[in-house]
Amino acid sequence: MDERIKKLAHNLVNNSCKVQKGEHVLINTIGEDTLELSRALIKEIYLLGAYPHIELKNTSITREMYLGCSDAQLTAMQDYELYKMKKMDAFIGIRSTDNTYEYVDVPDEKVELMDKFMDPVLRQRVDHSKWVVLRYPNGSMAQAAKMSKEAFEDYYFNVCNLDYGKMGKAMQHLKTLMEHTDSVQIKGKDTDLTFSIKGIPIIPCAGECNIPDGEGYTAPVKNSINGVLSYNTPNQYQGFVYEKIVLTFKDGKIIDAVANDTKKINAVFNTDEGARYVGEFAIGVNPYITKPMLDTLFDEKITGSFHFTPGASYEDAFNGNKSAIHWDLVCMQTPEYGGGEIRFDGKLIRKDGRFVIPELECLNPENLID
């Protein structure tokens, strides 16, 4: 077995989920490329005297379920999935999808129906278990990154096996500064946005819940957002790739949304009342991730980026917003994407993707790479 896979499995079990003897761990996988890592995870969990449980899923099978699903079926499914998740102490999700467009022809109402019924299961996993979710490299991911599969695998393991302990220490400086911040202003090309984060917890992420990792997140005070935000990266959601997304906010609410398919994006924001409010604001710092590749778990960690997320807020950084959606939309601020500024209480803290105050320079790429 590849030593890099063994190292990744060890980190996921021992560092991300901190599995203890006697605990039950659900390994939830999508795609056949996940099998070798799944085997390594099972070995690691058994070594600790804990109990692995495994689910092997496939997107083409899930698509068939989406196409014919009904309220009665999903009610029973929700009961089953929720019961199972409540029995687990930890969750490791591995995603390796061959075709990222597998759900593109599933009717929107079917996807929305599935999302609404599965939301309590997601909330149980996120709020009441130790968990980590990651993508696993395959040909589809390499193609999205415009790299050979071998080169992408090397890149992937650099990203996922970096020194997260070092990153975690550096991120404490960002956490401290954000905890003492009220007003945030973001400026960039066709973007001028203001909001408050006062009183909302700050969560530094360095390998605990997502692999790859590298973000500090909080949530805006729900009704404090005003201005315009123009996203400059593509984003895939429910099988469709959205581009040129521009959102206009008034008192926290998205009052106007345009994109390459304006009708479709407004249907997403009409899912429920909370879908037009924002549940997360996060700053990306992973030094190995430098460009978007239509994979949210990677894109939201890009060094020099931030994401501003319509939908539900996390329980550990709760701003009162609830929704069936949580859509991480990423915006780049590096020079090749037009640059940009982030100010905390009027003070410039990041310009063109680089931190410019001494206490945060430790989070610039050259200081996180060994």
| Half-sphere exposure at residue 69, Cβ-oriented, CA atoms within 13 angstroms | 26
> What's residue 118's pLDDT?
84
Closest CA to 275 of 308, 245, 253, 302: 253
Closest CA to 240 of 61, 105, 98, 87: 105
Give the model confidence (pLDDT) of 205-232 as tens digits: 987 878 889 999 999 999 999 999 999 9
Q: Which two tokens stand for residue 226?
A: 């005003």
Please tell me the chain's helix, strand, coil percentages from 3-state DSSP, rounded to the nearest 5: 40, 25, 35
The reported pTM is 0.77
Could you report the average pLDDT of every consecutive run of 10 residues in the chain (370 residues)? Answer: 92 92 97 94 98 94 91 91 95 89 86 84 89 89 87 89 89 97 98 98 88 94 98 91 97 98 96 97 95 88 97 95 96 97 98 98 92
Give, for 121, the enclosing helix (H) or strand (E): helix 108-128
- Residue 60 DSSP one-character state: H
> What's residue 104's pLDDT?
85
Give the model confidence (pLDDT) of 245-255 as tens digits: 999 999 999 99
In three-state secondary structure terms, 46 is helix
> What's residue 123's pLDDT?
87
> What's residue 311's pLDDT?
97
Pairing mode, if any, of strands 305-310 and 226-230? Answer: unpaired
Treating both helix axes as pointing N-terminal to C-terminal, what angle do 149-160 and 3-11 enclose, rounded to 10 degrees?
Answer: 30
Residues belonging to the chain: 370
Give, for 118, the enclosing helix (H) or strand (E): helix 108-128
Closest CA to 368 of 354, 352, 357: 354
Closest CA to 233 of 174, 189, 280: 189
- Residue 19 DSSP one-character state: -
Under a CB-based contact definition with an 8 Å cutoff, are residues 226 and 195 in contact? yes
| Cα(354)–Cα(342) distance, integer angstroms | 10
